[in-house]
């Protein structure tokens, strides 16, 4: 499940709305909505995200967060290793291989490294 799919599913559950009902309102099939929630479809279009925001009547920070999650919800992530150093390509491949087995502690450590790098780039 993608972060966006998890958020949409949570919003639906909190409001007691079925996938079928939501899908009909959005003009998509229930099968598509289910696949989107389960991370079996590509990230949603900006237009669809806006319709979902309108459907749930969410505004400001919650709407921005849903848009951010949509942008981070690509179910298939590809790293183009053609123009990176061999060491980077090896690490990317190892990470892809190990990813399903990483626990919360490992993920938090990786996230810390990325956050530090992001901080280095912004200053």
Q: If you average pLDDT over residues 87-98, what whole number do you get? A: 92
Q: How confident is the model at residue 123 (pLDDT cuts 50, 70, 90)?
A: low
Percent of the residues in the chain that have a pLDDT greater than 70, as a whole number: 98
Q: How confident is the model at residue 1 (pLDDT cuts 50, 70, 90)?
A: confident
Question: What pLDDT does residue 120 have?
Answer: 77
Work out the number of other CB atoms within 10 angstroms of the CB of residue 120: 8
Asked whether the predicted pLDDT for residue 94 surpasses 90, the reply is yes
> Regarding predicted confidence, which is higher, 77 or 15?
15
Question: What contacts 62, CB < 8 A, 6 or more positions away?
Answer: none
Question: What pLDDT does residue 81 have?
Answer: 86
Distance in angstroms (rounded) separating the CA atoms of residues 115 and 82: 25
Work out the number of other CB atoms within 10 angstroms of the CB of residue 121: 7
What is the chain's length? Answer: 123
Q: What six digits make up the tokens of 50? A: 């806006």
**Which residue ranges form the domains of the chain, and what is each CATH number?**
3-71 (1.10.260.40), 81-122 (no CATH)
Which CA distances in Å does 114 have to 37, 52, 55, 120? Answer: 26, 30, 34, 10
Question: What contacts 71, CB < 8 A, 6 or more positions away?
Answer: 43
- Full-prediction pTM beyond 0.85? no
Residue pair 78/99 in contact by the 8 Å Cβ criterion:
no
Question: What pLDDT does residue 10 have?
Answer: 96
Question: What pLDDT does residue 13 have?
Answer: 96
36-90: pLDDT as tens digits: 999 898 889 999 999 999 999 999 999 999 999 998 888 788 888 889 999 999 9
| Dihedral, CA of residue 21, residue 26, residue 28 and residue 33, to nearest 10 | -70
């Amino acid at each position: 499940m993608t972060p966006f799919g998890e958020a949409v599913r949570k919003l639906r559950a909190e409001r007691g709305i079925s996938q079928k009902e939501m899908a009909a309102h959005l003009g998509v099939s229930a099968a598509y909505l289910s696949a989107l929630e389960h991370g079996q479809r590509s990230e949603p279009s900006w237009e669809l995200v806006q319709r979902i925001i309108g459907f749930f009547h969410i505004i400001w920070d919650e709407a921005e967060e849903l848009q951010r999650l949509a942008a981070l919800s690509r179910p298939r992530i590809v790293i183009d290793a053609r123009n990176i150093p061999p060491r980077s390509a090896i690490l990317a491949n190892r990470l892809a291989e190990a990813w399903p087995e990483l626990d919360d502690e490992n993920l938090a450590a990786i996230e810390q490294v990325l956050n530090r790098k992001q901080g280095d780039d912004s200053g």
